[in-house]
Structure 1
């Protein structure tokens, strides 16, 4: 087998046409997952009655099952739930109206939420509890203490793990092709079927994902430098 370099170069523009879909899936799942993670982590740290066992079960189940399984559960289970509720309420809306990428958004956000919650929880626990007590001593409410003191420090501590989670979700977005969403990986497969040059197509896809991963690492590094300036008092 001989590597077709010309085809490898020609396939890049075709794969880049699917880049917005990959970035959209990753951005939505990470953003929503981060919000879910903050809520779940807070519930677990403060042991909120009734919600605490639900939060623990959610994290345990999601982390204990494959990401692809979550996608299939949402893809096949959500329509049953939506159609059942719509029929019960007498609504004409049906799950068939939900775009396919919507199932990826929901599934990957739920998955990201569980993993993000552990990252956020570890960051929150790393902040000295004495700082929260000091905030109370000067009259701050719990929310003010969290927003002004705890969360900024927890974010700085959790940043490397958050970066890993973002990269993980970027790579996990390739599973969206199983529900007919055309991302970079799916586009590579589609392009390769025209002449059976799968090796070249997937090399191109790998290079694009590699570049995206490096970009995320560089952005994380810049944020870390900015945070370190504040920690050293270098920014007024």
Structure 2
């Protein structure tokens, strides 16, 4: 087996075309996962009745399901019941009109929300209880204490982890290729359909992902340095 440089550059060219979709998809998944993860972590930290127990059990069970298995399950369910639901809603659409992008968003957001919530919950535990008591002592509500005292300490603590989660989200977009969505990896493999040589396509996709991740990690390091400098100035 030989490595064809011409095929490789063709795969690079096609893969680059799908970088905008990959980044847009990743950012939306990451932002919503951080938001939902923070809400879930806060509910569990404050032990909100019923919801706390529900999320505790659900996350324990759900984190045991591989992402690739979850996306396949939701894909099959979506495809199986799409016509029935469309008929009930009276939209007149069939499975041919289905947009499987929503399946990808749902799967990744649900999975990453569960994982990121554990990061936030761990960060909450690093905050000394006296910080909460100090907020209550000066008349702040629980929400006010979180917003003005706790969050400013939690955010710098989880920042390195958030950079890693963003990187993981970008790499996780490759899973959506199994349900027919075109991101960097599927894009890089388009020329391989004609050449029947997939090594060049996979290598091209790996290099594109690597380039994106390197840039994000460097930006993350700059943000961490600035946040560390800000914390030193405020001490």
Tell me if TM exceeds 0.5: yes
Residue 95 to residue 229, structure 1, CA distance change in 2 (3 Å): farther
Residue 204 to residue 44, structure 1, CA distance change in 2 (3 Å): same
On the 8 A contact 1:122/1:158 being kept in 2, the answer is: no
Aligned residues, how many?
233
Shift of 1:73: 2.5
Shift of 1:234: 6.9
Instruction: Provide the TM-score with structure 2 as the length reference.
Output: 0.90
- Write the deviation string for residues 190-233 of structure 1: whole angstroms up to 9, x where unpaired: 22121122111111111111111111211211111111111111
Shift of 1:12: 1.7
Q: Secondary structure at the match of 1:49?
A: coil
Q: Name the CA distance, whole Å, in 1 between partners of 2:82 and 2:123.
A: 36
On the 8 A contact 1:71/1:103 being kept in 2, the answer is: yes
Residue pairs, 1:107-118, within 5 angstroms: 107-118=107-118
- Write the deviation string for residues 41-67 of structure 1: whole angstroms up to 9, x where unpaired: 111111111111210122112211100
Residue pairs, 1:1-236, within 5 angstroms: 1-78=1-78, 91-93=89-91, 96=95, 97-233=97-233
Q: Name the CA distance, whole Å, in 1 between partners of 2:52 and 2:120.
A: 16
Q: Name the CA distance, whole Å, in 1 between partners of 2:99 and 2:55.
A: 29
On the 8 A contact 1:12/1:204 being kept in 2, the answer is: yes
Q: Name the CA distance, whole Å, in 2 between partners of 1:198 and 1:82.
A: 33
Superposition RMSD in Å: 2.1
Instruction: Provide the TM-score with structure 1 as the length reference.
Output: 0.90
Q: Name the CA distance, whole Å, in 1 between partners of 2:51 and 2:94.
A: 29
4+ residue stretches of structure 1 with deviation over 3 A? 78-87, 93-98
Shift of 1:118: 0.5
Instruction: Mark the runs of 5 or more structure 2 residues left unpaired by the alignment.
Output: none
On the 8 A contact 1:115/1:165 being kept in 2, the answer is: no
Q: Secondary structure at the match of 2:65?
A: coil
Shift of 1:163: 1.6
Shift of 1:188: 2.2
User: Using CA pairs below 8 Å that are at least 6 residues apart, which structure has the higher relative contact order?
Assistant: 2
My pick for the range that moved more, 91-100 or 18-27, is 91-100
